[in-house]
Chains A and B, each alone.
Chain A
Amino acid sequence: MDEVEKIERWLILACLLLTAVLGWAAWDASTQEWEGYQESYYRLALLRASSEAQKEWVRAQPVEIKQLEPKEHRSVERCITCHLAVDNPMFRDAPEPFRAHSSLLTSHPAQRFGCVVCHGGEGRAVTTLEGHGQGNIRAKPLLRGEYMQAACYSCHGEASLSPKAVAAVVRGRQLVNRYLCLGCHQIRGVGGEEGPDLSAVGSNRSWLWLYAHLARPQAIVVGSTMPVFLLPRAEIKDITIYLTTLLDSRDRFRSPTPAAEQRTKSYQGEEPNEEAEKGKENIPENTSAEKFRYDGALLFHGAGCSLCHSIGNRGGEVGPALTYIGRKRKSEELERLLRDPEEILPGGKMPQLYLNDEQIKTLAAYLSALQ
């Protein structure tokens, strides 16, 4: 019966392989990025705790997925799985992802509004790449810097906010009128029928997509008949911010009831842009808490670079090809450019992408290695 024994031996080997693969699967399912962040947070919280009672509380916290189910928005948002300190005053000066939220959180309670309505991103995801909309080109990127005005505006409108808080949106709207966009496009029933209806373009396209498309439509939509307008960067940005406010009913937060209007009025006097401005000057250094490693190639294709630039034969045609950029530019130069394009290329098309330090370093290192 040595035939049977041979098969038996193969079968035992296959079962061992299966056990190994199942072990791999279990390991794969149990090593999650967010677990690392939660453990770091509780370690930091233990260091910062002032009383024994606080330390007890920290020790009792489980490592688990945390989520918000905002009352006025039918969605689930898991941002606080990593951003655990949003409501912890002891973390006011901590580096992201553990910085406490500004005072805006008191007028916009997270239990009611969630995070995504102001900050953008993909609320259901629990990885940085997916949650911040950097995993692929069709994802929803976070709104940062002036782009956050789009979020303020789409709930509060223009009247109830200070002019400074919606300046970019208003400029964008004026530009849309000045360049006669509505000659071809329709917004909420007004305008021509040559181009696509833009009434909900902010829901269907990310701001990165809109920006790149405004710079050169044909590089994004093959055979597009939209003219190349050769707009300066600041104008592209303002128009993009305005278009981002055009949401469909699924994403639009504001309910048109008088009560909601009343609520909107009561929020007057807030400075919604304060935190975004502060965050720009004070980009946190990499700390031990920051375990996550960015991948240069993933970032290049995910953070929006490849919409305009190409490496090899992949990518867009709006900006110069970067296949051999490492021969021309050193890593430090690229870092400076990524941090503030206006400083290096005044009047150019390259947008401010609001990347964090680690992302900038990773991207610069990746690009400077392209020889």
Chain B
Amino acid sequence: MKPPREIVQTILQEIRGSLGRIYRSIFRGSYPATLRQQLIVVVNNLVLHVHPTRVFRRSIRPAGTFGLGLICFYLFVIEWITGVYLMFYYEPSVSAAYGRIQDLDSVVTFGRLVRNVHRWGAEAMVVFVVLHMCRVFYTGAYKPPREFNWVLGVILFLLTLALSFTGYLLPWDQLSFWAVTVGTNIAGYAPVLGPKFRFLLLGGDTVGGEALLRFYTLHVIAVPTVAALLINYHIWRVIKDGGLARPPRQESQSAEGVVPTFPLVVYMELLVFVGLTVGLLVVSLLFNAPLEEEATPLQPNNPAKAPWYFLGLQELVSYSAFWGGVMVPTVLTLFLLALPYIDRRPDGVGEWFARKRLGMIILWSLLLTGVVVTILIGVYFRGPNWNFYWPWNPWPGAD
């Protein structure tokens, strides 16, 4: 009879042995301990393969990028997963949609939580995509040879807005109905093509059953597929364009300026993912996604506000439909798309707020401030009939 301690040891060894066998059956080989093995891990793994085998040490400093692009990608994945869960319960018809959302909020297991994660994740995605864009601008990372990846990024930003906006209608409550009515009206202000585009988007002249079906199809299939493909392209281009932007002739080319991607970078990326998931779950447990009463086309909300990211445009539209609905969005989009081909000087690449780029930095900051300020006015300072009011005053009226 063996002493009990030995028996425990044997059992533990058995467990370790079988875990090791399972590990080897999946990953083909033991834990990679040598540099050579660690490099091979990255090359031989389908997912990790988007990384280079080694990265510059300065590329993985948290303050270099704040992981913003990574967070955008993770948010897209989280939206995908929660979206599939919601699709099991949702029905895109005028008579059923609102009830389905009520069911999600009241009786579906984890329904409310998943809907909250999907909603707050979507809003966070718009914010983080803009922050990512600002990071790329302020570090001059759009300059040659990365011009085209910036263009891809701008398209992805527009797709993010499209995803968020098409999803906005689906609960079919007063908030979503009137927000989409206002949002598509802004699109309709464009000359000649505007009204046609609006008709095509809504499948009619007003928001109704056809619009709901179109927005649903765009939201769950059309836009996500295009976005997923472009995200892959966008990430692949990061390596092809020579990794993250960094100043030329840096001493980092030397041996100690480089670390193997596995395990350090992979672990860091996992850490960002877990942290983001925890944050999003906590927010979703504390705050519920809004749901007003069922959409009634004859009883407009006062004021009817577009989704918050379009409220800057709505604020401008309240002064001039042409400037807010046509000129400003068109010029801004064209400016974003053309930016890397206009500003081609190789100054300040990979450096935050480089002195030599002072003009461009001021220009971008002014544009950003303008967008943020008009959005804040639209969200917090506009009461019934789009009248100005201070947010600390009582909301006039009960509606």
A168 at the interface (CB under 8 A from B): no
The distance in angstroms between the C-alpha atoms of A221 and B267, with both chains bound, is 56
Inter-chain contacts of B263 with A (CB < 8 A): 4
Q: Are B285 and A25 in contact (CB under 8 A)?
A: yes
Interface residues as binary, A284-324 with B (CB distance below 8 Å gives 1, 0 otherwise): 00000000000000000000001100100111100000000
Q: Are B398 and A14 in contact (CB under 8 A)?
A: no
**A127 closest partner in B (C-beta):** B106
- In the complex, which residues 115-130 of chain A have their Cβ closer than 8 Å to any Cβ of chain B? 122, 124-127, 130
B62 to chain A, nearest CB (A): 11
Interface residues as binary, A80-122 with B (CB distance below 8 Å gives 1, 0 otherwise): 0000000000000000000000000000000000000000001
Inter-chain contacts of B388 with A (CB < 8 A): none
B298 at the interface (CB under 8 A from A): yes
A222 in contact with B384 given A75-B99, A313-B394 (CB within 8 Å): yes
Interface residues as binary, B380-397 with A (CB distance below 8 Å gives 1, 0 otherwise): 000111010000111111
The distance in angstroms between the C-alpha atoms of A86 and B384, with both chains bound, is 44
Q: Are B274 and A11 in contact (CB under 8 A)?
A: yes
Residues of B within 8 Å of A, CB-based: how many?
A: 41
- In the complex, which residues 121-156 of chain A have their Cβ closer than 8 Å to any Cβ of chain B? 122, 124-127, 130, 137-140
The distance in angstroms between the C-alpha atoms of A203 and B297, with both chains bound, is 13
Inter-chain contacts of B285 with A (CB < 8 A): 21, 24-25, 28
A226 at the interface (CB under 8 A from B): no
- Interface core residue of B107, B174, B275 (most chain A CB under 10 Å): B107
- In the complex, which residues 222-242 of chain B have their Cβ closer than 8 Å to any Cβ of chain A? none
**B173 closest partner in A (C-beta):** A138
Inter-chain contacts of B271 with A (CB < 8 A): 7, 10-11, 14
**A10 closest partner in B (C-beta):** B271
**B280 closest partner in A (C-beta):** A21
A60 at the interface (CB under 8 A from B): no
Q: Are A313 and B392 in contact (CB under 8 A)?
A: yes
Q: Are B398 and A137 in contact (CB under 8 A)?
A: yes
The distance in angstroms between the C-alpha atoms of A25 and B112, with both chains bound, is 11
A259 at the interface (CB under 8 A from B): no
A21 in contact with B293 given A29-B109, A137-B398, A222-B302 (CB within 8 Å): no
B65 at the interface (CB under 8 A from A): no
Q: Are A124 and B99 in contact (CB under 8 A)?
A: yes
The distance in angstroms between the C-alpha atoms of A139 and B397, with both chains bound, is 16
B185 at the interface (CB under 8 A from A): no
A337 at the interface (CB under 8 A from B): no
A212 at the interface (CB under 8 A from B): yes
A242 at the interface (CB under 8 A from B): no
- Interface core residue of B174, B270, B282, B397 (most chain A CB under 10 Å): B397
Inter-chain contacts of B103 with A (CB < 8 A): 76, 124
The distance in angstroms between the C-alpha atoms of A15 and B296, with both chains bound, is 45
Q: Are B268 and A14 in contact (CB under 8 A)?
A: no
B338 at the interface (CB under 8 A from A): no
Q: Are A221 and B399 in contact (CB under 8 A)?
A: yes
Q: Are B278 and A28 in contact (CB under 8 A)?
A: no
B280 to chain A, nearest CB (A): 10
- Interface core residue of B102, B274, B387, B393 (most chain A CB under 10 Å): B274
The distance in angstroms between the C-alpha atoms of A65 and B397, with both chains bound, is 38
The distance in angstroms between the C-alpha atoms of A332 and B98, with both chains bound, is 42
A311 to chain B, nearest CB (A): 10
A23 to chain B, nearest CB (A): 11
B341 at the interface (CB under 8 A from A): no
The distance in angstroms between the C-alpha atoms of A222 and B99, with both chains bound, is 30
**A3 closest partner in B (C-beta):** B264
The distance in angstroms between the C-alpha atoms of A75 and B100, with both chains bound, is 11
The distance in angstroms between the C-alpha atoms of A362 and B102, with both chains bound, is 28
Q: Are B267 and A8 in contact (CB under 8 A)?
A: yes
The distance in angstroms between the C-alpha atoms of A3 and B107, with both chains bound, is 47
Q: Are B282 and A219 in contact (CB under 8 A)?
A: no
Name the contact of A14 in the complex, choosing from B102, B113, B274 (C-beta under 8 A).
B274
CB-based closest 4 A-B pairs: A222-B384, A14-B274, A222-B397, A313-B394
List 20 additional A-B contacts (Cβ < 8 Å) besides A15-B274, A221-B302: A4-B267, A7-B267, A7-B268, A14-B275, A17-B274, A18-B274, A25-B110, A25-B113, A25-B285, A29-B113, A65-B107, A74-B95, A78-B106, A125-B102, A126-B107, A137-B398, A138-B293, A140-B293, A220-B399, A314-B395
